[in-house]
Amino acid sequence: MQQKTQINIGKLVGEHVEFAETEIATIYLINEKPLFARNDDLIFPTLGSDDVVNFLPRIVVNMGAVPHVCNGADIMAPGVVDIADTFEKDSFVVVVDEQHKKPLAVGIALYGSEEMKTLKHGKIIKNVHYVGDKLWHMLRKL
């Protein structure tokens, strides 16, 4: 990590916030947990802590989609077996596998959940962070 800056805002919201500037992204640590990252203009939840992904709407994909998602592919409608929650277009969602329910990726919904349920083909989630990407490897070291 190149630069680490601490900001203690405990008096304001009772949380300790740090951020680390890296070549990959700016990582935001809240109470020492890497909850968010910023890459370019997008701030997104990370897979570095269950504290965030447990609160995101879930999309369940079949096991055939897993290797593709973990290589950074966007999520296609045929690979989805369940849309577990209700959400709007442009919401962050967590993608989990059908067998173990493990988080595989964080993505942005290209459709709201109700419309998404009607789709049989095409891209429905833009993959922004996934198991095995450079950020994921960096977060494992924290």
- pLDDT by 10s per residue, the chain, length 142: 333 334 343 433 557 889 899 999 999 998 889 999 999 889 999 998 888 888 999 999 999 999 999 999 999 999 999 998 999 999 999 999 999 999 999 999 999 999 999 999 999 999 999 999 999 999 988 7
The listed CATH number (3.90.1150.10, 3.40.50.720, 1.20.5.510, 3.10.450.120) that belongs to domain 3-46? 3.10.450.120
Q: List the chain domain ranges.
A: 3-46, 51-130
Task: Tell me which long-range contacts 135-141 makes (C-beta under 8 A, separation of at least 24).
Answer: 135/24, 135/25, 135/27, 135/37, 135/39, 135/46, 136/47, 136/48, 138/1, 138/22, 138/24, 138/27, 139/27, 139/34, 139/46, 139/47, 139/48, 140/48
Q: What is the pLDDT of residue 1?
A: 38
For the domain covering 51-130, report its CATH number.
2.30.130.10
